[in-house]
Amino acid sequence: MGKRIMIVDDSRAQAFQVKGLLEDTDYEVAACCQTGEEALAEYSVIQPDLITMDIIMPGMDGLETAQAILEGHPEAKIVMISSLDYEDTRKEASDIGAKAFLNKPFTRDDLISTLDRVMNE
């Protein structure tokens, strides 16, 4: 059975791109959330195998959202996806407990190999 992914991104275009890259793979997009608040509410309903999390979003940003989800669900597997490729941002994501950090722009291979690595950890 496919692994169920929750995409969290305020940009519909970016979410659509990730969804497109996951077509014909072992990953199935179970939900797309446009805000951190929505992701937090939906996580326990959707129970995804993995979350891809944008960082810059209005309201709760991706780091705050990841932290809040992990507080309630320490087993959550979260991959940050962002163009904020800074050492301190990566460190903060890692300290919060995100499993990986994917820098935009990325290829289909980058995405799949990152998701595979996190799923197989």
- Kindly list the residues in this chain that would bind Mg ion in the complex (CB under 5 A): 10, 54, 56-57
To Mg ion, the closest distance from the beta carbon of 1 in angstroms equals 30
Spell out the residues 6+ positions from residue 76 whose beta carbon is closer than 8 angstroms to its own: 43, 51, 69, 70
To Mg ion, the closest distance from the beta carbon of 55 in angstroms equals 7
C-alpha–C-alpha distance, residues 116 and 45, integer Å: 23
Identify the residue whose tokens are 């904020």.
84
**Residue-level length of the chain:** 121
Residue 64 or 116: the one with the smaller Cβ distance to Mg ion is 64
Residue 19 or 116: the one with the smaller Cβ distance to Mg ion is 19
C-alpha–C-alpha distance, residues 10 and 2, integer Å: 25
To Mg ion, the closest distance from the beta carbon of 3 in angstroms equals 23
